[in-house]
Structure 1
């Protein structure tokens, strides 16, 4: 009979359940509303939203009986599969059929909208429930908190949790967890720690997810000591930190330049578990990068590879940058070479850091090779790339290559700054190529008061003019300094300073920088 069929449908997975329902339609007994609801519930459990929607539409189109339970089950299947818009459509279909939604259905709608990050619609619907009913419960307010948290509206999320408390519903663990996530996104670490304490009174103690959100807030707030303390409190309180918690604490230490605690936490992961992830190593590499510890960063990358983990471009960039800051140009090039061999896409940041490392190591040929590879890879070489290469050429006194590189930058519609021009002038002056150095002062875009020719560059050119008795060029350059906003000639004294004093002061400054 129909009761037996309904019981069988309820006990099945969604495919056998739909087959039984089809059998009832074909040969009897005639299915009732309970039969359809049972099949819809099976689809919801199996997240089979397409069959659930087809079943619901079949009932509505043929004017067959349905009720709130069936519609809610279909909406739940859609919501669980991430199709919040379809979930809302099914609930709207109930309203068109004259079926009044109960609180469970309203909560399903709120949850669907929260998953769709429709935070304004969720808050509007909650206001409507408070006004006309049914009265929202703690699950309703949790949906509001989650919607605001997902959209980074932590202040509104706090207000929603406060409303639940005001109505004597009390904050739930789920609501506190969602709000912790919101505070994490907003770097509200004080509120996050307060909520973590408040969550202790909600029933079950907060787990790794809630603690991880609080640690993330501490990380973004630069509170590395508190992050390490919270990690220790978790272990003392019987909550086993997962890799996400450790990663947040390591990153907090790295942001504060505390590389020793960062590496100590990574060592705890190695020895006590859980196993460190690629993110763990990249966070530790970032800590080393901030302190210019190229050797340590390289060792971490090597260990990451030995463990069979895949390094991403951010981690590799951190190693190259750490080596550049530590003046380890060979290791920078080795890391860049490994990236290209391993299929890790080396971006402009990777190549710029390697070029700068070559500049510091006086490896101008390697710098040009990397810059050439950047262009061949059809990556956009910015003015930083060209300036770093020019700096290497300037120190190595490679004036023909420097002039060619400056021309390449201009051909790419890039405007060379003072550093790029200064490097080119240095290369020319070092090789007694004073004509080329002076010609730069008349190049397009660097005439009097131009963006590229600064007082340091002019001082170098003035020295060339004085040594070679080129009075006309000397006077022109002095006028350039007078017209340049903010230069030391514009001191408000109303007169041009003594030329020899100007040249001496400026050249001494440039010489100090050079040596």
Structure 2
């Protein structure tokens, strides 16, 4: 077995049953439990893997899967999901994808939950291109990321200066039946503002209005500033009038 840096404990049958039935077992106690047993079951491993997932302990989660195989046990779907979840919370996208590949080989069901944890790993690590690849793979399987994942990706792309990708994600979400919300447009608009993309920003503003999402004064202010800097006086003045019609004063901060 892999070194667990824990002393082996002798647990009686009653304690094992109690530990398996409880919901608050620590991952350390779980490893000690497995160490004490001659023939731990898949159920026992899953209990410990779940504790690892809740604690973000990706490393023991991954090698517990290997240990199960070495002992002749077949990890089930929950075994893999827990290991991927542990990787997801800690930004270990390479390890998450490695476990995912094993899951594919074992022909377990792959759904939004599984890919959601892989996407989470990419988000935490700030690897937005890897996140896009994860989205692409989901879509090839007719799975759709949720709005929260899209918004995180849009924001991350904006932070990295990938304004084209941020903008395409807003349009892609909409085309796949995931309706962008104010946060989606706001994050994309900030990416365009940062990149000084006046025409794109104005176009996104019109798209947002057509979708029935109110832009708010801060966003209008960003577009007005870009238009003014680009020398598009007509559009800049139009936005100022829109701010005035709404009883808003350009330059005021918007509470969200």
Relative to the length of structure 1, the TM-score reads 0.41
Match in the other structure for 1:133:
none
- C-alpha distance in structure 2 between counterparts of 1:295 and 1:477, whole Å: 53
Match in the other structure for 1:304:
68
Match in the other structure for 2:251:
500
Q: CA deviation at 1:349?
A: 1.0
Alignment partner of 2:142 out of 378, 402, 406: 378
1:438 counterpart = 2:189? no
Q: CA deviation at 1:330?
A: 2.4
Q: CA deviation at 1:357?
A: 1.9
Relative to 1, partners in 2 of residues 1:338 and 1:423: Cα closer, same or farther, differing over 3 Å? farther
Alignment of structure 1 residues 415-430 onto 2, 5 Å: 415-430=179-194
1:253 counterpart = 2:24? yes
- C-alpha distance in structure 2 between counterparts of 1:294 and 1:474, whole Å: 52
1:269 counterpart = 2:34? yes
Match in the other structure for 1:462:
221
RMSD of aligned alpha carbons: 3.2
1:368 counterpart = 2:132? yes
Gaps of 5+ in 2: 1-9, 229-235
- C-alpha distance in structure 2 between counterparts of 1:303 and 1:454, whole Å: 54
- C-alpha distance in structure 2 between counterparts of 1:277 and 1:243, whole Å: 12
Is the CA contact (8 Å cut-off) linking 1:440 and 1:446 kept in structure 2?
A: no
Alignment of structure 1 residues 291-440 onto 2, 5 Å: 291-440=55-204
- C-alpha distance in structure 1 between counterparts of 2:151 and 2:183, whole Å: 7
Alignment partner of 1:472 out of 238, 247, 250: 238
Relative to 1, partners in 2 of residues 1:454 and 1:247: Cα closer, same or farther, differing over 3 Å? farther
Alignment of structure 1 residues 189-208 onto 2, 5 Å: none
Match in the other structure for 1:288:
52
Q: CA deviation at 1:351?
A: 0.9
Is the CA contact (8 Å cut-off) linking 1:356 and 1:389 kept in structure 2?
A: no
Deviations 1:52-111 (A, max 9, x none): xxxxxxxxxxxxxxxxxxxxxxxxxxxxxxxxxxxxxxxxxxxxxxxxxxxxxxxxxxxx
- C-alpha distance in structure 2 between counterparts of 1:297 and 1:474, whole Å: 56
Relative to 1, partners in 2 of residues 1:294 and 1:454: Cα closer, same or farther, differing over 3 Å? farther
Aligned residues: 240
Which structure has more relative contact order (CA 8 Å, sep 6+)? It is 2
- C-alpha distance in structure 2 between counterparts of 1:303 and 1:337, whole Å: 17
Relative to the length of structure 2, the TM-score reads 0.76
- C-alpha distance in structure 2 between counterparts of 1:277 and 1:350, whole Å: 23
Deviations 1:470-490 (A, max 9, x none): 2422453676xx6xxxxxxxx
- C-alpha distance in structure 1 between counterparts of 2:220 and 2:99, whole Å: 39
Is the CA contact (8 Å cut-off) linking 1:387 and 1:420 kept in structure 2?
A: yes
- C-alpha distance in structure 1 between counterparts of 2:88 and 2:211, whole Å: 34
Q: Provide runs of 4+ in structure 1 moved above 6 Å.
A: none
Q: CA deviation at 1:377?
A: 1.4
- C-alpha distance in structure 2 between counterparts of 1:419 and 1:282, whole Å: 37
- C-alpha distance in structure 2 between counterparts of 1:357 and 1:349, whole Å: 13
Gaps of 5+ in 1: 1-231, 483-494, 510-515
Is the CA contact (8 Å cut-off) linking 1:243 and 1:280 kept in structure 2?
A: no
Is the CA contact (8 Å cut-off) linking 1:352 and 1:384 kept in structure 2?
A: no
1:241 counterpart = 2:26? no
Q: CA deviation at 1:420?
A: 2.6
